[in-house]
Chains A and B, each alone.
Chain A
Amino acid sequence: MTRQHKAIALISGGLDSMLAVRVIQEQGIEVEGINFFTGFCVEGHTHAIRNHHKDKEKRNNALWVAEQLGIKLHIVDVIEEYKDVLLNPKHGYGANMNPCLDCKIFMVGKAVEWVKSNHQDGFDFIITGEVIGQRPKSQLKRTMPIIARESGADDILLRPLCAKNLPETLPEREGWVDRAKLHDFHGRNRKPQIALARHYGLNDFATPAGGCCFLTDEKYSSKLVDLWQARHSRDYELDDIMLLKVGRHLRPAPHFKVIVARDAGESKFLEGYRKQYPSLYSTSHNGPMALIDGQLKHHDDVETAAAVVARFGQGRTAEQVEIELTLPDNGTQNLVVSPLASEAIPEEWYV
């Protein structure tokens, strides 16, 4: 009896990985999906927090894609392991703090580990939705073999959407997969993918602008670099990187930063951190919740932070605003401050 071969697919939630799975399923191969949570994934977070995203359906696209494809999806927390990828990328960064090539090598490497530990259940190879020339750093003809080699996947890594432009892989050589039925997509043109999606009757799919990772975002990257500079350490915890996704960040002094919510959704989200961070909000006017990251060393720091928070509330034009400062271990203080005028906040305070 011929052994049934299975594939594990890297599922991002976008169209390409969805199509790659469908192409392989068409050949009668059972596929399961794997998705990695680095902490920097855009997926749903801002939609979950901010008010003006309320109309967007709050769904995880990787799960949604898995359900459309009828496959299991294993979501893996790689937050701790990913730190080394971000902090020490062998192949460097892209336009921002995005270590795309190292990231792909890491994720394929994790999939290799998964195949090894599930080989007894028939898993033999890995598929991805990569397309040569699709991405400026990680999806180039010269980087494809680097990913295969440095991840340890070698010839068990099959890219069904561009396989015909690449050397034969093990599943093709062994005849588990018919190379003739694979594709030769290349470049940034999305028309072949859209046509293939139509062929499969797929009409609803995510097309995230700018990718699925906050590290490709210029503003997010600058906040991350600012965090490292302020702490004199290139390290982070999950709470740090979550808070970088939320609010306005203003740094009046090197030793502290004020994170001010932009709407009620963000205020509610920041409230959840009040046992960990000093927090401020106005008791005399409606206004945002704010957190302090760093230390309020001097009374002037407290006054400045309170005046910043007052500026973003409904008391911004009032003579005086009452602000309550809560320290996680040290009770509350009540302050009365004059809100900073918009022009009194130096541009360089905005991180």
Chain B
Amino acid sequence: MSDYQLDCQRLLCPLPVIRTQNKVKELAVGDTLCVVCTDPGTKNDIPAWARIHGHSLVSIEDKEDLIYIVVRVGA
């Protein structure tokens, strides 16, 4: 169970990355954010964005046409 959820359904990259980036700015270190996406590109892009900014990827799950990407906010 994540601390926060962000709906990025129907958005194409890089918009889900931008929304994630902006949401994470509001969160505290250690918080988890679940980003709900439909663009398969997010499975590469959100983890790449997380890596270069020092956040960690908790999980990626495909379920019923939706992609759930969970990120833990780093320092």
Residues of A within 8 A of B (CB): 35, 37, 41, 43-45, 47-49, 57-60, 62-64, 66-67, 70-77, 242, 272
Which residues of B are found within 8 Å of A41, using beta-carbon distances? 14
Judge whether A75 and B53 touch: CB under 8 Å.
no
Which residues of B are found within 8 Å of A76, using beta-carbon distances? 18
Known interface pairs A60-B44, A63-B52. Does A48 touch B12 (Cβ–Cβ under 8 Å)? yes
Which residues of A are found within 8 Å of B15, using beta-carbon distances? 37, 77
A63: contacting residue among B12, B43, B48, CB under 8 A: B48
Q: Which of B18-49 contact A (CB under 8 A)?
A: 18, 21, 38-41, 43-45, 48-49
Which residues of B are found within 8 Å of A37, using beta-carbon distances? 14-15, 18
Judge whether B41 and A48 touch: CB under 8 Å.
yes
Known interface pairs A72-B53, A272-B38. Does A43 touch B48 (Cβ–Cβ under 8 Å)? no
A71: contacting residue among B9, B17, B48, B52, CB under 8 A: B52
Q: Which of B12, B21, B43 has the most CB of A within 10 A?
A: B12
Mask: chain B, 3-16; 1 = CB below 8 Å from A; 0 = not: 00000011011110
Chain B residue with Cβ nearest A242? B12
Known interface pairs A48-B13, A60-B13. Does A75 touch B41 (Cβ–Cβ under 8 Å)? no
Which residues of A are found within 8 Å of B12, using beta-carbon distances? 44-45, 48-49, 242
Judge whether A60 and B52 touch: CB under 8 Å.
no
Which residues of A are found within 8 Å of B52, using beta-carbon distances? 63, 66-67, 70-73
A43 to B12, CA, bound (A): 10
Known interface pairs A59-B48, A66-B52, A67-B48. Does A75 touch B40 (Cβ–Cβ under 8 Å)? no
Given A35-B14, A58-B39: 7 more A-B contacts, CB < 8 Å? A45-B12, A48-B12, A57-B44, A60-B17, A67-B52, A70-B52, A272-B38
Judge whether B17 and A75 touch: CB under 8 Å.
yes
Judge whether A58 and B51 touch: CB under 8 Å.
no
Which residues of A are found within 8 Å of B48, using beta-carbon distances? 59-60, 63-64, 66-67
A66 to B9, CA, bound (A): 25
Judge whether B49 and A44 touch: CB under 8 Å.
no
Which residues of B are found within 8 Å of A67, using beta-carbon distances? 48, 51-52
Judge whether B18 and A77 touch: CB under 8 Å.
yes
Which residues of A are found within 8 Å of B38, using beta-carbon distances? 272
Q: Which of A37, A44, A242 has the most CB of B within 10 A?
A: A44
Which residues of A are found within 8 Å of B10, using beta-carbon distances? 272
A70 to B38, CA, bound (A): 28
B70 to chain A, nearest CB (A): 19
Which residues of B are found within 8 Å of A72, using beta-carbon distances? 52-53
Judge whether B45 and A60 touch: CB under 8 Å.
yes
Judge whether B49 and A59 touch: CB under 8 Å.
no
A70 to B15, CA, bound (A): 22
A63 to B43, CA, bound (A): 13
Can you list 27 A-B pairs with a CB-CB distance of less than 8 A?
A: A37-B15, A43-B14, A45-B12, A47-B41, A48-B40, A48-B41, A58-B41, A58-B43, A59-B41, A59-B48, A60-B13, A60-B17, A60-B44, A60-B45, A63-B45, A66-B48, A66-B52, A67-B48, A67-B51, A70-B52, A72-B52, A73-B49, A75-B14, A75-B17, A76-B18, A272-B10, A272-B38
Chain A residue with Cβ nearest B40? A58
Which residues of A are found within 8 Å of B18, using beta-carbon distances? 37, 75-77
A62 to B17, CA, bound (A): 12
Q: Which of B40-75 contact A (CB under 8 A)?
A: 40-41, 43-45, 48-49, 51-53
Chain A residue with Cβ nearest B65? A268
A44 to B12, CA, bound (A): 8
